[in-house]
C-alpha cells in the first residue's frame, strides 16, 4: 500500500475533535482510528507498540546498525479540525491542468485560483480534493500516511542504515491539547519532527505564542419601555469592547511575523454576553503586551459600567524557537534531507502552533516539516500527490542522514 492508498483509507475515519467534552481523546472516533493504526503497525512488525487510554499510540522501528546513532522520532496527530465536519469524507483525485475545480456541481461549490492562487503552483499534478461537503483531513492524516509509508520502506530496505526510530500518533492537536498527555520519557527520542506542515518544502521552528481570553459581560435586563437609566445591555457593552481593539490587528489583515487578536466566538443576551478571543504573536514581549491590553480594556469598560466585565486569560503554548535555536543541527539536517530529495526548503514561521511547540517545552525538541496539504480546516482543503510522496522520501532521508553523520 503506497502513501496515497493509505491516505485515502485514513480519511474515511471520522476523527473531528471537540474541546467541549473535557475528555482525552475528546471524541471516540480518534480511538477507533488509533486502534486501526495499532493493528497496522503490528502487521508491519514494529516493536514497543503502546496505545494508552488517552489515545496516544507509539511504536519503534529498531536500529539496523551497530553504530551509536541518536534516537529520532516522527509525530502526527489523529484528529481533524472542529471547524468543519470530517464525517463521510469523499475524496477525489483530480489531474489538475489549471483553472477552476468543481468540487460539488449540485451545490455550485468551486475552488478557483482566483480565490486560491496557490493552485497555480500545482498545475500538471494530481490533487486530492473534497466533494465540497467536508474537510479533507490532510491535516494531519497526510502526515500519518507519510510516516507509516516511510517506516515500511525502511523496514523493507535494510540496506538503508538507520538508528532507532520512534513514531507517535496523538489525539486532539486541533484543540491545543495534543501534547498535554504525551509521555516524552516513554517516547525516548533525542529529538523529533512533527509531519504537520503545509505546502511542500515548509520547515518551521518558530510558531506563535498563544493564549485564549474569555470576557464575560453581565448586564441588567428590564422592560425596554421603562429601561432608561436601568438597563445595561451586555451585547452592546461587548460590542463596545470589540471596537476598542485595533482594527487592523486581526487575522485578515496580518501576515508573516505580525500578531493579532481574533474574535472566535460570541454568545449573548441582554443579561450576559461571552466573547472568546485568541491572542497570537511570535514575539514574547508583544504577546504579553497584547494580554495586558485586553486587561486594560476590561478595566476601561468597568470604569464606565462598574463590575460588568470580567476577563480570564489562559496561555496555550509558546514559541518553540527558544528551544530549537541551541540545536540548529536538527534544522540543518532536515534542510539537507529536503535538498537531497530535490525539495527546496522554505524555512518560515508558523502562523499557528503545532504539538511540537509544546513538546519542545516538555524536553523534546520538535520542529515541523511539511505534510503537503493546503487550505486546511475547510471544504477547499486539498493535497498534491507529489507533495506527499516527497514528504515520505524526506522522512527516509532524515533517518539515513542521522545514521551517516
Catalytic positions are: 79, 173
Closest CA to 297 of 271, 266, 275: 275
CB 276 within 8 Å of CB 267:
no
Q: How many residues does the chain have?
A: 405
Question: CA–CA separation, 132 vs 101, rounded Å?
Answer: 11
Distance CA 173, CA 19 (A): 10
Q: Is 113 helix (H, G, I), strand (E, B) or coil?
A: coil
**Exposed/middle/buried for residue 95 (C-beta within 10 Å: 0-12, 13-18, 19+):** exposed
Residue 68, judged by CB atoms within 10 A of its CB (0-12, 13-18, 19+), counts as: exposed
Nearest to 275 by CA among 240, 304, 320: 240
Cα 31 to Cα 55: distance, rounded to the nearest angstrom: 6
Cell of 69: 546513532
> Does residue 120 contact residue 56 with C-beta atoms inside 8 Å?
no
No. of helices (H) and no. of strands (E), the chain: 10, 17
SS3 (DSSP) at 211: strand
CA distances from 252 to 104, 255, 261, 375 (A): 27, 8, 10, 15
Quote the CA–CA distance of 138 and 198 in Å, as a whole number.
9
Greatest Cα-to-Cα distance within the chain, rounded to the nearest angstrom: 85
End-to-end CA distance of the chain: 31
What is the rounded CA–CA span in Å between residue 349 and residue 368?
10
Task: List phi, psi (to 5°) of 404.
Answer: -65, -40
Amino acid at each position: 500500500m503506497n502513501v496515497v492508498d493509505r491516505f485515502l483509507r485514513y480519511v474515511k475515519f471520522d476523527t473531528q475533535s471537540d474541546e467541549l467534552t473535557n475528555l482525552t481523546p475528546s471524541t471516540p472516533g480518534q480511538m477507533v482510528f488509533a486502534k486501526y493504526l495499532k493493528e497496522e503497525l503490528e502487521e508491519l512488525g514494529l516493536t514497543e507498540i503502546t496505545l494508552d487510554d488517552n489515545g496516544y499510540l507509539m511504536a519503534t522501528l529498531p536500529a539496523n546498525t551497530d553504530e551509536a546513532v541518536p534516537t529520532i522520532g516522527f509525530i502526527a496527530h489523529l484528529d481533524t479540525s472542529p471547524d468543519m465536519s470530517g464525517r463521510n469524507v469523499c475524496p477525489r483525485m483530480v489531474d489538475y491542468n489549471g483553472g477552476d475545480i468543481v468540487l460539488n456541481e449540485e451545490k455550485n461549490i468551486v475552488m478557483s485560483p482566483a480565490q486560491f492562487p496557490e493552485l497555480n503552483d500545482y498545475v500538471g499534478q494530481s490533487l486530492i480534493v473534497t466533494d465540497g461537503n467536508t474537510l479533507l483531513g490532510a491535516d494531519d492524516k497526510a502526515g500519518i500516511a507519510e510516516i507509516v509509508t516511510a517506516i515500511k520502506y525502511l523496514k523493507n530496505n535494510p540496506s538503508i542504515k538507520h538508528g532507532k526510530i520512534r513514531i507517535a500518533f496523538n489525539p486532539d492537536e486541533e484543540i491545543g491539547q495534543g501534547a498535554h498527555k504525551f509521555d516524552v520519557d516513554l517516547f525516548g527520542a533525542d529529538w523529533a519532527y512533527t509531519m504537520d506542515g503545509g505546502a511542500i518544502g515548509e520547515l518551521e521552528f518558530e510558531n506563535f505564542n498563544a493564549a485564549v481570553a474569555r470576557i464575560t459581560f453581565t448586564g441588567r435586563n428590564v422592560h425596554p419601555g421603562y429601561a432608561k437609566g436601568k438597563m445595561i445591555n451586555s451585547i452592546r457593552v461587548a460590542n463596545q469592547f470589540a471596537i476598542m481593539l485595533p482594527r487592523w490587528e486581526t487575522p485578515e489583515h496580518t501576515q508573516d511575523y505580525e500578531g493579532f487578536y481574533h474574535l472566535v466566538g460570541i454568545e449573548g443576551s441582554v443579561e450576559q454576553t461571552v466573547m472568546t478571543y485568541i491572542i497570537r504573536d511570535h514575539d514574547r514581549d508583544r504577546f504579553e503586551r497584547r494580554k495586558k491590553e485586553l486587561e486594560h480594556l476590561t478595566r476601561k469598560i468597568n470604569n464606565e459600567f462598574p463590575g460588568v466585565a470580567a476577563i480570564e486569560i489562559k496561555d496555550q503554548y509558546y514559541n518553540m524557537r527558544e528551544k530549537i535555536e541551541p540545536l540548529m543541527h536538527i534544522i540543518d539536517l532536515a534542510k539537507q534531507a529536503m535538498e537531497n530529495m530535490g525539495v527546496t526548503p522554505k524555512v518560515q514561521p508558523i502562523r499557528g502552533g503545532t504539538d511540537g511547540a509544546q513538546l519542545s517545552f516538555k524536553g523534546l525538541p520538535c520542529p515541523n516539516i511539511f505534510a503537503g496539504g493546503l487550505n486546511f480546516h475547510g471544504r477547499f482543503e486539498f493535497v498534491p500527490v507529489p507533495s506527499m510522496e516527497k514528504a515520505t522520501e524526506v522522512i527516509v532521508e532524515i533517518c539515513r542522514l542521522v545514521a551517516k553523520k
